[in-house]
Amino acid sequence: MGNDPIDTQLSSSYKYGFSIDIEADTFPPGLNEEIVAALSAKKKEPEWLLQWRLKAFRHWQTMTEPTWAHVEHPPIDYQAISYYSSPKDTDGPKSLDEVDPKLLETFEKLGVPLHEREALAGVRKVAVDAVVDSVSVATTFRKELEEAGVIFMPISEAVHAHPELVKKYLGSVVPIYDNFFAALNCAVFSDGTFVYVPKGVRCPMELSTYFRINEAMTGQFERTLIVVEDEAYVSYLEGCTAPMRDENQLHAAVVELVAEGSGEIKYSTVQNWFPGDEEGKGGIYNFVTKRGICKGNRSKISWTQVETGSAITWKYPSVILKGDDTVGEFYSIAVTNNRQQADTGTKMIHLGRNTTSTIISKGIAAGRSDQSYRGLVSMGRKASNARNYTQCDSLLIGKECGAHTFPYVDVKNSSAQLEHEATTSKVSDDQVFYLRQRGLSEEDAVQLIVNGFCKDVFRQLPMEFAVEAQKLLEVSLEGSVG
Amino acid sequence: MSWVADLAQGTSGVRHAKGLAAFERVGFPGPRLEGWKYTSTRSVAKVDWVRADVVAAAAIDGLRLPHAAVELVFVDGVYQADLSRGLDGAPVSLEPVAQAELQPQHVGSEDGFVAINDALATEGFVLTLGRDQVMTAPVHLLFLQQGGEQPVTGQVRLVVKAERHSRMQLIETHHGGEGQTFVNELITVQVADGAKVQHSVMGRLGSGQLVHTVRAEVGRDATYHSHMAWLSGSLVRSDILARLVGQGGHVELDGLYVLADTDHVDNHTVIRHEVPNCTSVETYKGVVGGKARGVFDGMVYIAKGADGTDSQQNNRNILLGDHADVKTKPTLEIYADDVKAAHGATVGQLDQNQLWYLRARGIPKAKAEKILTHAFVADRVLAHPDEAWREVLAEAVEARLAVLEG
């Protein structure tokens, strides 16, 4: 069967590629201790945080950029990036009315439910913390959350409002020495989200952050920290988009999750950064460190991600299963098209007894893209009765793409049990033929097959996201079917 | 200066010089190399080895394979013409090859051991089976590491050529003892169009150390079947690179490792599908106990344009006791779309349901465990088509399992 009808479909363009002119307050490009200090001063940060940043920066200078990922890109000039960009007027809008209408317009175009829309709220309430470039602009639903005792605010505010919590947990999961990009983030992170759910509280709504890179030549280094205490629960949604630009933009975020005894965190991501054009020009470099720790017994952390964007993705959401009877989950769909490259996967580090983890990874490669699953499952000496099940499947659409699997398995305990399965195949001609016989067009047939392929992961997404994710998938693969 | 440079002093020739230069550039592979992450080469690097030589006698009587047509004996990596037999009148021919004709093999390799072989191997042999020749009885390569007062090392360099439509069975047995020995073998297997090579290796190395590198090239409609059984060794590194270069080719890699004490076996395999419509099946199984470490690092590479590839890769492990460990890494690298590729890996203990089933029928726990462990490894032994060899292998596997079960 020919690829042509699909190829023509694939060429649909990036729908979120607009850039708005809001006056921005931006640092000149470059990185040195003064920039770090200036950044810290700008945010009126306490001394300990400044010292922490400087320590990270000094360490970062001694590190070299890792090269083991299965991706190719021109060297990144860290001195050419501006490390702070904030929309002007950061004295803090108190309500939505004070927010720059242009900004609201951006969100409107993106379809972020920034307003407390009744329709959405009727189904399920979602609190949105929107981040344009580096500063968190508006936090909705805050009051209702406050009543429940949930803290949901920009991390820059949390540093002042809840210094003891931030100090205790910041860097506790991803230490400043962790890796090159994490160290860079520690030094220059500009803003992000802080969530704290106290003991026994089930967060009354889903929390959501929308990240968006707006200013040209700015890197975005946000930092997310989510802590749930004993028997608490939170579901957190993260969505990302960026306007279309010719240059590549760097995004090096750090996300840390801490689940205490019987606590549960569900973290869902729909990532739709600008992937670059058909020739691979522009696009986001998405080098992200995401890690959670199931600290207390019986706690659970679940990562779900739908990755359709970014020129290069380099991301391994991980779970350290430290407590006994803890559970880690990773559900992922990664779609690459055109010249996109993705090297993504997860790490499950089993330390406690009776720990279980599940990894379901679905990769779809089209066009001339290159995609790798890279994962580690490690079971330590003390991880008695640890269990893991891993399934990573790849679907190839087109002759020019690549799909790779690099699973690392390391078992030191004889009662541990682990299974890994992976398959790679193309959309089967038989299946397409069958569906076309029943009157579906070729695109619809492939769409249906792809949706079926991804079903296991879609099921894990909160409802609002599942719909969006399915749409995104359609858009990403438009024109690639054949 | 490392021992490699010392030992290279007695050599001349372009290959030696190039090999030494390459080794000096890359050195002994260390944990920073992805392919050597789980194996330390200190026990080879930090010893002052001397070259092995032709010996007057060796205790090989019990090690011969009666059903072999040809038997070539190597002691500490050195060919022993007097101890070998069966070459006269055999369809297969063995020729020593002048140094200059054995091309350097390290090119394009990050592997220091191939460079060492280039630098130090002073002899090399080509084993050829002519066109349309079918050998029913195997060629046996008997390797004994017996050592001496000083730590000895030997470099083995072999080229096996199976010409068009020929069939050959090659069996390597590696035996070790108490001595401090290290053999570095590089064997190149060329399977011409329509030919079939069955290449079996069994290693019982004890304190001996072996780096075993296979480079196989498989032609059109040809088959290369490798069957590895590693039953002990303080350091065994088994490297296989099998390239499918003609359409319709088939590669089958079977492996078994039964490890106890402080055994260390690192299986590192690469199957490269370079042309369309080839198939490959890889199945490695391991039982690892004591303080042993078993490693499986298998890669299936499907090049651009290699459509119609069907590839399966599987690694299953049973871990016994709390001091052993298993590292497994089954990887796929795929650049073609019309392919079927699947891989799987498991690590675990014996199936509790199966154990319970047997115990419910009155079989004591220890006995039940034994039955299940034996059944787990038996299918790898049975995967070998030669009955006489299966018997030898089964006996050796039993003996090793007995050690493991204490």
pLDDT on residue B13? 78
pLDDT on residue A453? 87
Angle at B19 between CA B16 and CA B25, to 5 degrees: 140
- β-bridge partners, B156: B185
Q: How far apart are CA B263 and CA B207, in angstroms?
A: 9
Burial of A77 (0-12, 13-18, 19+ CB in 10 A): exposed
Q: Chain A residue with minimal CA distance to B341?
A: A424
Q: How far apart are CA A338 and CA A277, in angstroms?
A: 8
Show the tokens assigned to A469.
């994710």
Show the tokens assigned to B121.
């191997």
Higher confidence at residue A95 or residue B209? B209
Per-residue pLDDT tens listing for chain A (482 residues): 344 444 444 445 555 555 555 555 677 777 888 888 888 888 888 999 999 999 999 999 898 888 888 888 888 888 887 777 665 543 444 444 554 555 555 555 545 444 433 333 333 345 566 555 545 544 556 777 888 899 888 888 889 999 999 999 998 999 888 888 899 899 888 788 899 999 999 988 888 776 555 554 455 788 899 999 999 999 988 876 655 555 667 888 899 999 999 999 999 888 777 777 777 677 788 888 999 999 999 999 999 988 887 788 888 999 999 999 999 999 998 888 888 888 899 999 999 999 999 999 999 888 888 899 999 999 999 999 999 999 989 988 888 888 899 999 999 998 888 988 888 888 888 888 999 999 998 888 888 888 888 888 888 877 767 777 777 777 677 666 54
Q: What is the Cα A52 distance to its own chain's centre?
A: 24
Does residue A450 belong to any structural domain of this protein?
Answer: no
pLDDT on residue B273? 96
pLDDT on residue A285? 84
Closest CA to A303 of A262, A343, A346, A260: A346
Out of A402, A407, A426, closest to residue B329 by CB: A407
How far A367 CA lies from chain B's nearest CA (Å)? 11
Does residue A213 belong to any structural domain of this protein?
Answer: yes
DSSP state of B138: P
Each residue of B364-396: pLDDT tens digit? 998 999 999 999 999 999 999 999 999 999 999
Q: How far apart are CA A294 and CA A234, in angstroms?
A: 14
Closest CA to B58 of B77, B41, B39: B77
B31 touches chain A (CB under 8 A): no
Residues of B with Cβ-Cβ distance to A426 under 8 angstroms: 337-339
Q: With the C-alpha atoms ordered A220, A221, A222, A226, is the resulting torsion angle positive or negative?
A: positive
Q: How far apart are CA B174 and CA B316, in angstroms?
A: 24
Each residue of A406-446: pLDDT tens digit? 999 999 998 888 988 888 888 888 888 999 999 998 888 88
ipTM of the assembly?
A: 0.82
- End-to-end CA, chain A: 7
How far B262 CA lies from chain A's nearest CA (Å)? 15
Segment 317-346 of chain B within 8 Å of chain A by CB? 317, 319-322, 324-346
Closest CA to A110 of A212, A259, A4: A212
Segment 205-244 of chain B within 8 Å of chain A by CB? none
Q: Chain B residue with minimal CA distance to A378?
A: B327
Largest CA distance in chain A: 69
Closest CA to A364 of A351, A355, A373: A373
Q: Report yes or no: A269 and A306 within 8 Å, Cβ to Cβ.
A: yes
pLDDT on residue A10? 44
Each residue of B57-67: pLDDT tens digit? 778 888 999 99
Each residue of A168-192: pLDDT tens digit? 999 899 988 888 889 989 988 878 8
pLDDT on residue B329? 92
From residue B26, alpha-carbon distances to A431, B11, B23, B117 in Å are 50, 20, 5, 14
- β-bridge partners, B267: B238, B296
Each residue of B152-162: pLDDT tens digit? 999 999 999 99
pLDDT on residue A421? 87
Higher confidence at residue B301 or residue A15? B301
Out of B304, B332, B337, closest to residue A422 by CB: B332
Return the half-sphere exposure (C-beta side, CA atoms, 13 A cut-off) of residue A260.
14
pLDDT on residue B372? 92
Test the B interface: residue of A356, A411, A426 with most B CBs within 10 Å = A411
Does residue A474 belong to any structural domain of this protein?
Answer: no
Does residue A396 belong to any structural domain of this protein?
Answer: yes
How far A416 CA lies from chain B's nearest CA (Å)? 6
pLDDT on residue A210? 61
pLDDT on residue A38? 85
Domain that includes residue A242, residue range:
17-431
Domains held by chain A: number = 1
B349 touches chain A (CB under 8 A): yes
pLDDT on residue A5? 44
Does residue A294 belong to any structural domain of this protein?
Answer: yes
Largest CA distance in chain B: 69
Q: Which residues, including other chains, have CB under 8 Å from residue B184's CB and lie 6 or more apart? A: B77, B113, B116, B117, B120, B153, B154, B155, B156, B210, B211, B213
Out of B304, B342, B349, closest to residue A414 by CB: B349
Out of B336, B344, B349, closest to residue A420 by CB: B344
Q: How many CB atoms lie within 10 A of CB A88?
A: 11
